[in-house]
């Protein structure tokens, strides 16, 4: 009985690894038609895939400034950020993560929202795969196309059209910073007319953008 269960488990693991690898390779070249987040949210789906060349660099710079300053230098995992998150969470209060853009992309494309060690383990596996198969530019392109930018709205282009009535190809520094500031909580943070924390956070991101560009922290996306 134990031997049979072990064989079944091994077969499942091999099957899962092969299937996940196939999807990662496929999505290196084609956009995912839909994601679990889009389906499970139940708020409708408004999206419009755009290649990274049609998304203003200001938004790339802004999300790196706001979400993951080490995007170009880590291998998918920011150990320092993870350790800090663990220390903060041990003190109680609202649970905070230490996810990189790569981890968020892996979750948004292949998995579902929410926590749990099982999902985090799958997230780590997919993060490893996309870092080694897609590379940084494709990860950023995918992130900016599948990330939720508002209720029922996904991706930079749909978000730009919703909030600013123009293409993501010509986002100003302020517009990009506001979109980036709302990304962690897109259903609760206003983009078009932010106030309070969201406005202050957007201003902070806008200030950091100069550092990102000056120090080449977004250079891996444009090599």
Span 93-123, pLDDT tens digits:
544 557 999 999 999 999 998 878 899 999 9
User: Is 51 strand, coil or helix?
Assistant: coil
Asked whether the beta carbons of 45 and 214 are under 8 A apart, the reply is no
Is the pTM value of this prediction over 0.85?
A: yes
Residue 175 has pLDDT above 50, yes or no: yes
Longest dimension (CA), the chain: 63
Residues 6 or more apart whose CB falls under 8 angstroms from that of 52 comprise 60, 137, 140, 141, 144, 221
Range with the poorest average pLDDT among 22-31, 96-105, 153-162: 96-105
| CATH classification (class only), 31-221 | mainly alpha
Question: Which pLDDT tens digit goes with each residue over 33-59?
Answer: 999 999 999 889 999 999 999 999 999
Mean pLDDT value of segment 82-86? 71
Reading across the β-sheet that carries 148-150, which strands appear in turn? 46-47, 153-154, 148-150
pLDDT-derived band at 91 (thresholds 50, 70, 90) equals low
Please state, rounded to an integer, the average pLDDT across all residues of the chain: 92
């Amino acid at each position: 009985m134990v031997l049979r269960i072990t064989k079944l488990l091994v077969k499942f693991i091999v099957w899962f690894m092969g299937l996940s690898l196939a999807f990662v390779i496929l999505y290196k070249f084609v956009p995912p038609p839909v994601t679990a987040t889009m389906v499970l949210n139940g708020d409708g789906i408004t999206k419009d895939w755009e290649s990274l060349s049609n998304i203003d660099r200001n938004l790339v710079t802004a999300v790196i400034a706001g979400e993951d300053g080490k995007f170009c230098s880590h291998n998918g995992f920011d150990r320092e950020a993870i350790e800090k998150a663990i220390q903060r969470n041990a003190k109680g209060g609202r649970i905070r993560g230490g996810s990189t853009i790569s981890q968020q992309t892996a979750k948004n494309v292949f998995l579902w929202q929410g926590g749990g060690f099982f999902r985090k383990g799958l997230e780590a596996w997919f993060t490893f795969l996309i870092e080694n198969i897609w590379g940084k530019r494709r990860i950023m392109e995918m992130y900016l196309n599948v990330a939720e930018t508002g209720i029922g709205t996904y991706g930079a282009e749909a978000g730009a059209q919703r909030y600013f009535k123009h293409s993501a190809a010509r986002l100003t520094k302020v517009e990009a910073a506001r979109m980036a500031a709302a990304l962690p909580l897109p259903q609760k943070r206003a983009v078009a007319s932010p106030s309070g924390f969201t406005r202050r956070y957007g201003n902070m991101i806008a200030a950091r953008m100069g550092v990102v560009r000056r120090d080449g922290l977004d250079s891996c996306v444009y090599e």
